[in-house]
Structure 1
Amino acid sequence: METVRALVEQYGLIAIFTGCVAEGESFAILGGFFVHQEILPLAGVFAATFLGSFLGDSMFFMAGRHFTNHPLVMRLRHKRGFSHAYRLVRRHPNIFVLTNRFIYGLRLVGGVAAGMANIPVARFFVLNALSSVIWSTVFVGLGYFFGLGAETLIGDTLRTHHRLLIGLAIGVAAMIIAAVIAHRMAKKEPREPE
């Protein structure tokens, strides 16, 4: 377990940053849990979640803005949820940019849709930064309070090696729940003809 802890301490922030570039809720929650367990520093986890979230959405926005015919962008444009995201961003661009990352399963296609919707670049970056701060605070906070709850339930038996296992279990559970929700949402929205 000391090897696992050393790996988390050494590479945890990189993994959190990388995970938050895409659909990263479970990585942010896991980061918050490791902050509570004093395995990772709060400032580092917050910076990793904020930067990953901000840069990920910015990349997809710029891809939608400048590379609409690229195969990756074309694949995203044909995914379920894209037409819904595009309609929403056209009707309510500011609200969409602020809330898109909170809707699991729409984040990637939503970034491309925002890039195609003629939102001014400067406005997108400001709204994206604000949304990233809120998102990071919410999900890192959730992970922290999961740690607090686990410690209260388990009490003195929560030792270093248990902390890692509980953290990994929280991360896996968050990914499974998010995947089930995304699958159900995708089944509800019919594909539009190409």
Structure 2
Amino acid sequence: MEKFFKKVQPHSGKILATVVIVFFSYLAYNLYHAPVSGFENKFVYLLKQYGYIILFAWGMLEGEAGLVMAGLLSHTGDMSLYIAIFVAGLGGFAGDQVYFYIGRFNKSYVHRKFKGQRRKFALAHVLLKKHGWPIIFIQRYMYGMRTIIPISIGLTRYSAKMFAFINLISAWLWAAITIVPVWYFGEEILKVLHFLKEHWYFALPFAIVFGGSIIYYFNKATQKKDKNYED
């Protein structure tokens, strides 16, 4: 594993970009040629046909929205609950392994690219030193640190095998904690979604607040990044 990452390290960015482009081009092609009419029906068809592939990719990005989708599809019988948890967990595991090895074999790149995140890296090192392996287990629930912590651990001499083991168990638990409640309360969630679809104007204020929060967050993040670079 380590020899492989050392070999592909100089081309890792190009490889990742190529894989992402090919994957989304494939999904876009199948979405366009789906044998149903209407964008919504086409999207549902795509999820039903390629749900596990999409779920794995979404899991790598550690997006809870993908896991919610899997929970609903498991409730309707279009996915297997156990396979969905297994695949989503593998995706989350693979994503953090990539971040870990970026830190392990791209130290100069990390220090250059994440120059504005020095405080977060310092905090991650302190947390790892103080709490040990549990910090690996709970890092998925730490907003703003989910990418930083695996990379930060990769920068240290922490055992790659131990990290992989804890990461795998953590990823499967993360997937189960998110997917199972959605599967269990699927009928109620579908009713709410149907209501919002029929009465979309009720959701408009929430969309405005949510969109405003995102804009505010990115503005604050940009200002903080600029300040860090000035420092």
How far 1:2 moved relative to its partner?
4.0
**Secondary structure of residue in 2 paired with 1:81:** helix
Q: Are the aligned partners of 2:96 and 2:150 in contact in 1 as well (CA < 8 Å)?
A: yes
Mapping of residues 1-150 of structure 1, within 5 Å? 1-70=40-109, 74-76=112-114, 78-79=116-117, 81-150=120-189
Shift of the alpha carbon at 1:8? 0.9
**Partners of 2:103 and 2:129 in 1: how far apart?**
14
Distance 1:74 1:18, change over 3 A: farther
Report how many residues are paired.
173
Q: Percent identity?
A: 23
Q: Is the 8 A contact 1:29 1:141 kept in 2?
A: no
Higher fraction of helix: 2
Q: Is the 8 A contact 1:16 1:49 kept in 2?
A: yes
Aligned to 1:132, the other structure's residue is in SS state: helix
CA shift digits 1:134-171 (9 cap, x unpaired)? 101101123324423325x56xxx8xxx59x79xx9xx
Question: Contact 1:89–1:113 at 8 Å: present in 2 too?
Answer: no
**Partners in 1 of 2:115 and 2:125 — Cα distance?**
9
Q: 1:69 is paired with a residue of what secondary structure?
A: helix
Query: Which structure is richer in relative contact order (CA contacts within 8 A, separation 6 or more)?
Result: 1
1:22–1:53 CA contact under 8 A, matched in 2: yes
Rg larger in structure: 2
> Residues 74 and 16 from structure 1, CA distance in 2 versus in 1: closer, same or farther, beyond 3 angstroms?
farther
Q: Which runs of 5+ in 2 are unaligned?
A: 1-39
Q: Which runs of 5+ in 1 are unaligned?
A: none
Alignment RMSD? 3.4
Shift of residue 30, structure 1, vs aligned partner: 1.8
The TM-score normalised by the length of structure 1 is 0.72
CA 1:121–1:130 in 2, change beyond 3 Å: closer, same or farther? same
Contact 1:61/1:113 (CA < 8 Å) preserved in 2?
yes
Q: Which runs of 4+ in 1 moved over 6 A?
A: 190-194
Deviation track 1:84-142 (CA, whole Å, cap 9, x = no partner) reads 22321232220110110111221111110111132111111111111112101101123
